[in-house]
A and B are shown apart, each in its own frame.
Chain A
Amino acid sequence: MSTAAATETKPAPPAIEKIKVKVDGREIEVPKLSPDHTGKLVPTTMIQATEAAKTDVPHYCYHPKLPVAGNCRMCLVEFGTPALGPDRKPVMNPDGTPKIAKSPRPAIGCATPISPGMEIYTKTPSVKQMREGVLESLLINHPLDCPICDQAGECKLQEYSVDYGQSASRFVEAKVHKPKAVDLGPRIMLDAERCILCTRCIRFTKDVAGDDALGIVNRGSYNTIATFPGLRFDNNYTLNTVDICPVGALTSKDFRFQMRVWFLKETKSVCTSCATGCNVLISSREEKIYRYTPRENDGVNGPWMCDAGRLNYKWIQREDRLKDVLVRGEKSSWTVALSEIADKLKQAPAGSVAIVASARQTNEELWLLSKLKAKLGAISDSVPRVGKGDNLLVDEDKNPNTNGARLTGMSFTEMGINLSKIAAGIARGEIKMLIVFGEDLLMNSVSGAKLREKELTSEVVSEHGITAELLGKLDTLIVSDILPNATAKYAHYVLPGCAHAEKRGSFTNRDGRVQKFMQAIQPKGDARAEWDFLHDLVYNVTGKNGFLTIEGLFNEMAKDVPAFNGLTWAGLGDNGVTVKI
């Protein structure tokens, strides 16, 4: 990661003055200023200092990417500052160290700025007692329905109760009862009894999503999260509140009661629903995907992602997935299909082959196609796919790898510009073989001007003129896709491919950030990762070899594609590396 990071384009931030503080007796140096939730530099807080000292200070309401609320009181610590004499000069101990005046009152770590020479105490009996007190208060009216709570296993109330709580309860009064299973919005359920009133959800939707949709009604212990009467909690970012809710108060309608979290395997991946490429974790169990959650990457999505992208995984599990290799409509095998295709390609005269790649394919796959393209002198392009964007994360470009398609030379600055040329070539009878990857050329398309009127993740592509009639004229149509589609019906060869969750690879996002993703589940039936069979095909056609693994393939590509020069698979790390686009 370190070497490749050299390609990052951001200038180094100006040096920030450091100050010395002690955390539990250990001196550390921390920057005087640290970024707040908006990234603005403000005085460093105690909790940031303890974090730098790798000391855990439990907290509920504090979230580095939200405005500070300071209401849960879980992060209370004790502290002292250098004592000043009447002359405002530091008082010294006999051994020459500055005398520390311990504050008689504790302070919340999340909101209290540090000062030079400050000593922070996170492990004193009094701090321990305060934490126990807060936990006890949180638990007395808590329903403790962990056995049926979706948060169980990743719940901060459970975690801190183990780490900092007491084992027995003294509470003998009747618990406060509040509404359960409240339908807050189309994707969110609230259990008000589980809510610890940390206000993270309120602050998120108001200050991050820009939709002041949630608030608190009632008073004191009866406080309850609510929407304005008659309004729904419905924006494209609501599910992030489920992630940041420290308890099981907010649950995703999609995920609730589906799977206990401790059975889930988490795989690092990237969202494919737009060109932003939010980093995600895919949670799966036994080859089934249960949810996506955002994976923090400050260079891309911070800790957030949009709801549309998050829920766009069900298609991977569709029953009608392409599972078989088809040769002229008959079930066949990879060996047969690939050798037949290779033979045809080897004999194809220059200019008789066209390739429609997809900007939803990975960098590696596109690069392999570019090798075929070069060998065959083929014309190529991919299909633009546009929808609505917003100011936060969602991009208008609904292809996750537009830049990858451009940098590998499979498409051009104006994506789709060659498609009408391909149509014309087929019409004239010059193009006799068409290779189509991951695109249904016959899906409804609209004129370019209308593209941007469509809804967020709608699959809308621009008009290109390649019609069913033209497809019928082809000598050979090779289609690789994941789901059945109209184009595949005309294909002489159908090659079942993989969803990104079923393979490894990388995408280049809208900013040129090359981000890799890992395999979460196994492909269905005979489906194979495109890079894997493309490699075979390229070898058969061009004789090029030497990249049987995704690592080797990526590194080979990085040497070949100028924009990727210097990158290595390992060097991409978890958060990707930005290249010049």
Chain B
Amino acid sequence: MPQEFKLILKHLDNPGYTPDIECYLRHGGYDALKKALAIQPKDLPDGKKASPQEQIRDDVKLSGLRGRGGAGFSCGLKWSFVDRRSGKPIYLICNADESEPGTFKDRQIIHKDPHQLIEGMIISCFANDVKLAYIYIRGEMPLGAKLLNKALAEARAKNLLGKNILGSGYDLDIHVHRGAGAYICGEETGLIESLEGKRPYPRIKPPYFPAVLGLYMCPTIVNNVETLCNVKHIVTMGGAEFAKLGTPNNTGTRIVSLSGQVKRPGYYEIEVGKATIGQLINDPVFGGGLRDGHKLKAVIPGGSSAKVFKAGEKFKLKRKVDGKDVEQEVDMLDLPYDFDSLIAAGSMSGSSAIIVMDDSVDIVEALANISEFYAHESCGQCTPCREGSLWMSKTLHRLTHGEGRKSDADYLVKIADNIPGGRTICAFGEACSWPVQSFVAKFKDEFVAKGAADEERRANEKIQPKTATPVERKELATAH
């Protein structure tokens, strides 16, 4: 039986658990920090010494922790890229922009257990010789910003932040910075520009890799809220123990945001890969199944930008059975919810947000909704994304407002094909085109049928057949 595994969510929903520091301390809070600060330099076999910082970084590498923000990149590896010889300060930024539609996990931590994040950040900063760190929080979460500022003040008052933390000689401060309401500020280099007070235009890489030329052109680490919380647990448990959670190369836990037409939408923490998509949707401890009388139609497995899965879709996956590589056919619902399986199935776990759609959903409408979001959020820097995202959205708007064409399905894919795959500066190009590519590929008949119905209706109305009239989109025509 799959079960929730509450590592990060361990306390925060328990009755009586409050976001203040006293409550956190009563539950063993900041013990991991004390442990980290007490680590002694270690002699290595080659005669060199490993500093406490290096030891933590090695442990994080050993833990196999992968980023929880979207890309699933190895946290230890990311930290190892940091330019430590430049002589410039190193910054750490907590990405609390959580804006991918369907995702609502980071805010649970921020609202209910902010000190867990702060402790994870202090340890991560200590491990990377960071003296100044920022929490970049989504503008739409004013309460979260308030709670974080309160928690930071509490931590400062107890000398867990500030000068000479707990007598260790280590100085650190953390500031909260609120965004102004743009999805692209979640992209790490857009975030950095925004933090610098500029328009959040993501930076070109090369040359602006944050680990070398990040905030104020200094080496910078950007990690997701959940990722940083995990660092605390890695220090508590040890990296090797942590790596035993989850499945190989997909270690630890993940908080899954489950939304859509399930009986029990919500956030569920699981060991990575220890529950399948089907279990997350149907198991009584998770989604509890679809609404009665409805059948599953589609699942978006990793936030709205992930490629959609169609109910009944099957994948050929390489798996290890008794130490041997075998190819197995796996139903979409039987895919283990982890990083690698979903990539192998052509999608991704992204921000670990599962969006469930049953047979009551008009798939064209659903895509129109997603596309409108991306058309609104493209920063507009790169030509293909700027123009393509709005083009797709306008087409879908037309298709959902009685002005469709049979050919619109192919038309949409052709537009979408011009955007992803390294054609743009940031991964938003993928984020806005993958839904269109996958929805149309997997539900093409519905797109064609809608267009055909419109054409027929127009023919009956004796309006020029085949030629559709553009539909003005008032809601987007005004700029923001």
Which residue numbers of A lie inside 8 Å of B, CB to CB? 68-74, 76, 105-108, 111-113, 130, 133-134, 136-138, 140-141, 170-174, 176-177, 196-197, 215-224
Contacts and interface: CB of A to CB of B under 8 A. Distances in A.
Given A137-B418, A220-B380, 17 more contacts: A68-B204, A70-B204, A73-B382, A113-B207, A138-B387, A140-B387, A171-B391, A173-B391, A174-B471, A177-B477, A197-B380, A216-B199, A217-B479, A218-B380, A218-B480, A219-B377, A220-B379
A138 B383 CA distance: 7
B381 interface: yes
Contacts of B472: 174
Nearest to A72: B383
Contacts of B395: 173
Closest 6 CB pairs between A and B?
Answer: A105-B422, A133-B418, A137-B387, A174-B470, A223-B380, A70-B204
A71 B201 CA distance: 10
A80 B11 CA distance: 51
Nearest to B387: A137
A107 B424 CA distance: 9
A72 to B, nearest CB: 5
21 contacts: A71-B201, A73-B423, A74-B383, A76-B422, A106-B421, A137-B383, A137-B388, A138-B387, A140-B391, A173-B398, A176-B390, A215-B199, A217-B479, A218-B479, A218-B480, A219-B182, A219-B378, A220-B378, A220-B390, A221-B387, A223-B386
A112 B209 CA distance: 13
Contact of A73 (B201, B375, B383, B411): B383
Which among A69, A113, A133, A137 has the greatest number of chain B C-beta atoms within 10 A? A137
B207 to A, nearest CB: 7
Interface residues of B, number: 44
B156 interface: no
B390 A111 contact: no
A306 to B, nearest CB: 28
B376 interface: yes
Which among A71, A177, A197, A220 has the greatest number of chain B C-beta atoms within 10 A? A220
B389 interface: yes
Contact of B411 (A113, A136, A170): A170
Given A133-B423, A140-B391, A222-B479, A73 B384 contact: yes
Which among B411, B423, B470 has the greatest number of chain A C-beta atoms within 10 A? B423
State the majority secondary structure of interface residues on B. Answer: loop
Interface of B: 182, 199, 201, 204, 206-207, 375-384, 386-391, 394-395, 398, 411, 414, 417-418, 421-425, 467-468, 470-473, 476-477, 479-480
Contact of A136 (B418, B423, B467, B479): B418
Nearest to B418: A133
Nearest to A76: B423
Contacts of A134: 383-384, 418, 423
Nearest to B467: A172
A133 B384 contact: yes
Contacts of A172: 467-468, 470
A207 to B, nearest CB: 14
Contacts of A219: 182, 376-380, 479-480
Contacts of B480: 218-219, 222
Contact of B470 (A69, A71, A173, A177): A173
A179 to B, nearest CB: 11
Contacts of B470: 172-174
Contacts of B424: 73
A222 B377 CA distance: 11
Contacts of B479: 217-219, 222, 224
Contacts of A112: 206
Contacts of A171: 391
A222 B473 CA distance: 13
Contacts of A215: 199
Which among A70, A170, A216 has the greatest number of chain B C-beta atoms within 10 A? A70
Contact of B423 (A106, A197, A218, A220): A106
B386 A221 contact: yes
Nearest to B183: A219
A377 B137 CA distance: 83
A69 B395 CA distance: 30
A106 B398 contact: no
A68 B414 CA distance: 29
Contact of B206 (A74, A111, A141, A170): A111
B376 A174 contact: no
Nearest to B390: A221
B186 to A, nearest CB: 15
B376 A220 contact: yes
A47 to B, nearest CB: 13
Contacts of A197: 380-381, 383, 386
Nearest to B471: A174
A42 to B, nearest CB: 8
Which among A141, A177, A219 has the greatest number of chain B C-beta atoms within 10 A? A219
A105 B471 CA distance: 35
Nearest to A60: B383
B192 to A, nearest CB: 16
Contact of B383 (A111, A196, A216, A222): A196
A133 B383 CA distance: 9
Given A173-B470, A174-B394, A111 B207 contact: yes
B407 to A, nearest CB: 9
